[in-house]
Structure 1
Amino acid sequence: MARSTLLRHDEENNHATSAAAGRMIARQHAKGALRRTIRSYRAHKYAIIMFLPGFLLFLLFHYVPMYGLLIAFKDYKLTKGILGSPWVGIDNFRFMFSGHGLTNALRNTVVISLLKYVFVFPAPIVLAILLNEVRLVAFRRVVQTVSYLPHFFSWVILSGILFTFLSRSGGLNQLLGLIGIGPIDWLIDPEKFYGVIILSDIWHSIGWGSIVYFAALAAIDPTLYEAAIADGASRWRRIWHITLPSITPVITTMLLLSIGHFLSVGFDQIYNLTTPTTSSIGDILDTYVLRRLLSMDYQLGVAASIFSSVFGLLLVIAANRLVKWYNEDQGLW
């Protein structure tokens, strides 16, 4: 009995000694990690100092305002403030989806977004590839400069240009009149509204959006083209088998980044180009939020914004997983 008691005490002492040794080793590792961290910060102190202002601005203007998201879960009263207003849970979301124009705005947003993915997203890629095949450098630079120009104008200015050019007495209708086609109400006819939206967005974004694809094309090894030419590949074959596969990772990344804004189809453009006769098909989620905010329904406006953000996040996650399932090396994370 005494022998078993002594053995048990020895085991307990051994366990205590091992635990103490483990704690000492853990403290030494923690101290070593802390010293390495301090040395690393000291070595990169100037880079950290340069990083801090941008980080603080990002924190101040992007994360601090997220406190206002609480409005979506409250019966917000301007006189009581955010904290003083009573909680209502998800009642604002239920009320929002029960009608009040959201269904129509959401349907229009999805339609316009899909049209832009089909026609607007590929436009910069096509422009970059076509100009990459042009050997006349002066012509390529002129086209690039002209295509970049609309990006630097706001949609207020561009909409004024479009209203003037597309009016019944505008330049386009005058040109069509030369071939016997009568004046067309391009911005008033609901059937032509989506076409104007898509074409004007291509005009506005095609040049600026092609910059990243020009950079990707410049990184392609020219010996690949030389080998293809030696094998007798035509220009279209070279584009299909060399150019497109080489810039596919960039295209995938840009597509994944844009999917997060699936429900943000361009408030400035739609708001400035919509007329009273096209308001039924030009009402999108962003204009719905604006109307709610202007009518003092702050909680509904914030709830719609949260819905748009969460939906975009879920789309990005789903699209990223789909891309990684297809190709493990392509994806945002």
Structure 2
Amino acid sequence: MDEYTVGIKTLTPIWTGDENRRNNSLRETGIIGSLRWWYEALIRGLGGYACDPTSADRCLLDQKKFKKALKEEKSVQEALNEQICPACQLFGCTGWSRKFVLRILNKDGEIKVGCAEANEELILKFIPIKEINVEEWSLLRLTLHFIAEYGAIGGKTVLKPSDEIRRENKHHHRDFGLIEIVESKLSILPKGSLEKYVKSSSRNHMNRESPKWASIKNFWCVKGKYLARERSNRSSFNKVLGRDEDKRKAKKDPSERVSKWLAGSRGESKKVFSFKSPSRTFGFINPEIGMDFEDIRKRLEMVWGKESENNWEFLAGCEILNLLFEKCWGEQNDS
């Protein structure tokens, strides 16, 4: 079983804090948890089912059923598909351990010590401890490229920038979690092959609840633009969320349904993320509450002006997936 290494460069610090909320080291568990979240969203975006590992309806592998399926001469893949989703097959669940170990190395190939600051070159080494199929490797690489091009990794990614004098560099206004891929030699299968793979187990989970909004189908991104607090009574971030722009009133939750969902409640994440350097804004829509891409586009136009007239481009998740497949296939053909 071959290892997979990917070289990355940190564009901002990466936060993987411990239980005491300290960020003294780059913890593999924090990176794995973030990778898993995006991997699940990617599977759903490709038309497959991925459980929410924090819910009561999360996957569980019954070893008796699993061994019985193998005795009936079903393949390991078929036996897994009967019980657990593709994300749990790679990242693990109760009754089934993760298929790999992650090691984070510095550019010299030594174990990374300390936290990850901006402009560091790192190596992520994925070491298989169970057989990882070609579809899983492809999805893992695609997940990493998605994060690098359009998302963010680790914690504190929900913090919002500030343009206020003497506040822009405060901890709670800093950017975290932006990376770029420096080297990644693993190939990616065609989109149709990955769609077929993630859907292969879906029929066994038709009656299970899946997070509706946490899917690449509902994802959007604008590069080169950010949302921030400009002064005490003006915030483009709050305006998009539907919160009061005045800092003194901003903690009050909005009452309108879509705004309330975007802003998130206590203990629940916002659904809009923005970064100042390099500039990037992304988030999710929620068709279940009647929110579509046009709704968020209009909110963004309130602060940035018309898309066609102000040099910014709104990309929806399905467009982004197609662009990533084109890019990765182009790189494979050039190598």
Query: TM class, shorter-chain normalised?
Result: under 0.3
- Rg larger in 1 or in 2? 1
Q: Using structure 1 for the length normalisation, give the TM-score.
A: 0.23
- Give the strand-richer structure, 1 or 2: 2
Provide TM-score, normalisation by structure 2. 0.23
More helix by share: 1
